[in-house]
């Protein structure tokens, strides 16, 4: 039998929440999750707390130092030789800007294209391509000096001779490159693998290893070169009168005396046993110079003759391959370009062409698989290289036994090579499926579901980089810009997001800057730096902040904001059983404030309205009386400035329940 529905008596309920997770940007957020948490941190997990920013910020002065990925550099906020951006500066030369952009921002893309790796006291930098040339520099942050990674000698007007010489004090054939007046130590070091080009004898154009350097003699292995038997010398300048001598084998000498100077623009030729030259027009004629054998120590001025088969213009260079990505593993610098992997000589990042049959040799290989490399790192003791759909590990301990192991897993998205970061034994990076966590095993785990990132969205996303403070993963997510201008209106997941690997929670540090928020780069565990870029403002330069927890040296003016899911989801317990009839009596918030905090309420998804304001609370509980408007649901937001820890939020409500007999 049906009976009338009778209202039940009013009931008073309270839900006290003392634990919160991170942000959840999906519609299913609730039970302690946040739909917004700007400049919030997990430092007091599971309580709510603000993020702390150091007061140490790079100023507008060029000499204001900052740390780029934990290493020293300098910020320059004016127009540089290649556009606005951050430039590496030599502190030993105040006011002198090195013409190498550490961060290439000239094209106004917001993308940071330079790559670097640290080995010893050197920061090895592979810059953006300026024209067809990639700038490669080494910054010794202990000595404060900057130098090119590559070295080259161009003979120009000087005469280069391939001749017999010595090695270890013992005569050796075809092992010496001689150029009068050149100090080879200014260009190269013993052990360098150099490439010789420009010799008229093709067998002399090769890559070889320098064994000895002594003054103007560069020595290699015996029989490395072919020494020709027909000799000459082109005179770029006149040869004055005097006594001279020369040698064609490095062992015996012949001399001559000039009673008249030989003019510039002619060629001395050794024809048989005669030294001769042809005078210049309009009256060319052959002039022979008498020769005599030199006995004992040669006297006079030595001149160099060049085999006629050799060109006058010889180049000798120590080259470094172009790199898209670089890392350090087991005292070697590793890198990749396209489908090729490179390894430097052991302990020597300046040498990539040393093949001596030793365990210290450099090494290179190609994978022969589709696609280009998208990132690399050292992980679990192995050089690890990423493509978008595969990962390659280099196994082995020396060049003769190095092999590649391929894993067909989701790799690093193109353009996200700087998001690869190792934290607590796991790798984190941005792939086409979202942000991944990988332990080196069979398949990585997608951890960005709380950010509302679907695989189809990632193709329209970019990221200048990511970093860590040893336990948290900082990553910038932003729209991918076409032609530097096109925005993706529906792509709202933009900002600097922070994933705490201990608790599995996400927070956001910033979502401003015209859709291109802060770019975070890793430190060394003690320094962690955030580079905030303003690509749409003038002047176009980054501002650098230090991240992390600092005793008392942090900016107490930092603003923060946290927004909870709507009442139907965020406070389920207190509202259970009262879908049709409910009323909120008051809120009780227990917190510690060193600054100010405001409480805001929004109804049915409308604009937030201020409900209360508090300041400087010492872990006390404050009542927020509420007289809510008629609504289906409401939302709570807290905003503040300065240090804050929120211990609990209690919602008290009264309401009746309808019952059906």
**Residue 297 and residue 255 share a domain:** yes
Last residue of one domain, picked from the residues 116, 149, 182 = 149
3-state secondary structure 123-169: EEEEEEEECCEEEEEEEECCCCEEEECCEEEECCCCCEEEEEEEECC
CA dist 248 and 228 (Å) reads 9
pTM metric for this prediction: 0.73
Give pLDDT, residue 108: 30
**Residue 548 burial (10 A CB sphere; 0-12, 13-18, 19+):** buried
Would you say residue 28 lies in a domain? no
Would you say residue 525 lies in a domain? no
**Residue 393 and residue 353 share a domain:** yes
Would you say residue 183 lies in a domain? yes
**Residue 603 and residue 632 share a domain:** yes
Would you say residue 460 lies in a domain? no
Would you say residue 263 lies in a domain? yes
DSSP code string of 271-334: ETTEEEEEPPTTS--EEEE--EE--SS--SEE---B-TTS-S--EEEE-----SEEEEETTEEE
- ∠ at Cα 389 (387, 391), nearest 5°? 55
CA dist 506 and 41 (Å) reads 9
Tell me the two tokens of residue 391: 């990962």
**Residue 198 and residue 162 share a domain:** yes
Would you say residue 569 lies in a domain? yes
Averaged pLDDT in 10-residue chunks for the chain of 661 residues:
49 73 82 83 88 46 34 37 38 38 35 67 71 73 75 84 84 86 94 90 89 93 79 86 89 91 87 83 87 86 76 85 92 95 96 94 94 93 95 94 94 87 92 92 90 74 70 75 43 74 85 34 38 34 35 62 75 45 70 89 85 83 72 84 88 53 25
CATH of the domain at 591: 2.60.120
What are the Cα distances from residue 208, in Å, to 82, 150, 178? 36, 16, 15
**Cα four-point dihedral sign 349, 352, 357, 363:** positive
**Residue 218 and residue 156 share a domain:** yes
**Whole domain around residue 643: which residue ranges?**
11-20+565-655
Please list, in sequence order, all residues whose beta carbon lies within 8 angstroms of the beta carbon of residue 253, skipping any fewer than 6 positions away: 245, 246, 247, 293, 294, 298
Other C-beta atoms closer than 10 Å to the C-beta of 601 total 22
**Residue 208 and residue 187 share a domain:** yes
**Residue 112 and residue 70 share a domain:** yes
Other C-beta atoms closer than 10 Å to the C-beta of 12 total 9
Tell me the two tokens of residue 50: 């603000």
DSSP code string of 221-256: STTSSPPPS-EEEE-SS-B-SEEEEE-SSSS--EEE
Backbone angles phi, psi at 595, to 5 degrees: -130, -130
**Residue 253 and residue 218 share a domain:** no
**Residue 136 and residue 86 share a domain:** yes
Would you say residue 335 lies in a domain? yes
Would you say residue 532 lies in a domain? no
Q: Which residues pair with 293 in a beta bridge?
A: 254
Give pLDDT, residue 619: 79
CB 395, CB 403: distance < 8 Å: yes
What are the Cα distances from residue 265, in Å, to 157, 289, 308, 385? 12, 17, 16, 56
**8-state DSSP, 520:** E
Give pLDDT, residue 661: 25
Please count the structural domains in the chain: 5
CA dist 371 and 460 (Å) reads 19
Three-class DSSP category at 504: coil
**Residue 186 and residue 127 share a domain:** no
Last residue of one domain, picked from the residues 149, 169, 184 = 149
- DSSP E strand stretches across 528-626: 528-533, 542-547, 559-564, 583-593, 596-603, 609-615, 620-625
CA dist 532 and 110 (Å) reads 10
**Residue 144 and residue 67 share a domain:** yes
Give pLDDT, residue 551: 35
Give pLDDT, residue 62: 29
**Residue 626 and residue 587 share a domain:** yes
């Amino acid at each position: 039998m049906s009976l009338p529905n009778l209202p039940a008596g009013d009931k008073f309920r309270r839900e006290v929440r003392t634990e919160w997770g991170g942000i959840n940007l999906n519609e299913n957020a609730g039970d302690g999750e946040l739909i917004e948490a700007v400049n919030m941190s997990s430092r007091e997990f599971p309580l709510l707390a603000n993020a702390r920013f150091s007061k140490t910020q790079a100023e507008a002065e060029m000499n204001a130092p900052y740390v780029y990925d934990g290493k020293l550099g300098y910020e320059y906020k004016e127009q540089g030789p290649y556009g606005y951006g951050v430039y590496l500066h030599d502190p030993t030369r105040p006011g002198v800007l090195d013409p190498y952009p550490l961060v290439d921002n000239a094209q106004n893309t917001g993308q940071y294209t330079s790559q670097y790796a640290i080995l010893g006291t050197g920061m090895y930098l592979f810059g953006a391509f300026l024209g067809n040339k990639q700038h490669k520099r080494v910054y010794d942050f202990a000595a404060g000096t900057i130098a090119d990674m590559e070295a080259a000698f161009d003979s120009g007007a000087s005469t280069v001779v391939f001749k017999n010489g010595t090695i270890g004090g013992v005569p050796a054939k075809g092992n010496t490159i001689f150029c009068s007046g050149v100090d080879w130590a200014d260009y190269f070091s013993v052990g360098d693998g150099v490439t010789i080009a420009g010799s008229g004898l093709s067998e002399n154009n090769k890559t070889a290893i320098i064994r000895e350097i002594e003054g103007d003699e560069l020595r290699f292995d015996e029989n490395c070169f072919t020494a020709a038997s027909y000799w000459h010398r082109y005179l770029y300048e006149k040869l004055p009168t005097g006594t001279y001598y020369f040698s064609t084998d490095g062992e015996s000498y012949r001399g001559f005396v000039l009673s008249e100077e030989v003019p510039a623009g002619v060629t001395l030729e050794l024809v048989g046993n005669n030294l001769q030259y042809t005078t210049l027009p309009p009256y060319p004629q052959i002039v022979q110079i008498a020769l005599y054998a030199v006995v004992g120590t040669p006297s006079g001025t030595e001149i160099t003759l060049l085999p006629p088969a050799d060109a006058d213009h010889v180049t000798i260079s120590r080259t470094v391959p172009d790199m898209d990505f670089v890392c350090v593993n087991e005292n070697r610098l590793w890198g990749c370009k396209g489908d090729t992997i490179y390894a430097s000589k052991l302990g020597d990042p300046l040498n990539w062409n040393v093949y001596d049959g030793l365990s210290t040799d450099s090494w290179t290989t190609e994978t022969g698989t589709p696609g280009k490399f998208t990132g690399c790192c050292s992980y679990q003791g192995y050089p690890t290289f990423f493509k978008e759909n595969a990962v390659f590990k280099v196994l082995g301990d020396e060049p003769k036994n190095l092999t590649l192991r391929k894993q067909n897993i989701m790799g690093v998205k193109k353009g996200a090579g700087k998001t690869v970061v190792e934290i607590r034994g796991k790798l984190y990076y941005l792939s086409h499926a979202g942000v991944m966590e990988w332990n080196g095993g069979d398949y990585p785990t997608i951890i960005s579901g709380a950010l509302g990132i679907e695989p189809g969205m990632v193709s329209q996303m970019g990221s200048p980089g990511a970093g860590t403070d040893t336990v948290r993963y900082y990553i910038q997510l932003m729209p991918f810009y076409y032609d530097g201008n096109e925005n993706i209106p529906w792509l709202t997941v933009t900002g600097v997001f922070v994933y705490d690997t201990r608790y599995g929670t996400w927070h956001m540090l910033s979502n401003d800057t015209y859709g291109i928020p802060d770019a975070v780069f890793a430190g060394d565990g003690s320094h962690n730096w955030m580079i905030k870029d303003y690509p749409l403002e003038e002047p176009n330069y980054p501002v650098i902040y230090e991240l992390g927890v600092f005793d008392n040296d942090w900016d107490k003016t930092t603003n923060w904001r946290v927004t909870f899911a709507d009442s139907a989801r965020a406070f389920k317990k207190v509202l259970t059983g009262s879908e049709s009839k409910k009323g909120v009596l008051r809120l009780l918030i227990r917190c510690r404030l060193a600054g100010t905090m405001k409480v805001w309420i929004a109804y049915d998804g409308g604009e937030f309205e201020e409900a209360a304001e508090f300041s400087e609370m010492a872990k006390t509980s404050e009542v927020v009386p509420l007289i809510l408007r008629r609504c289906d649901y409401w939302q709570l937001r807290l905003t503040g400035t300065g240090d804050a820890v929120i211990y609990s939020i209690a919602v008290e409500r009264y309401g009746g329940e309808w019952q059906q007999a």
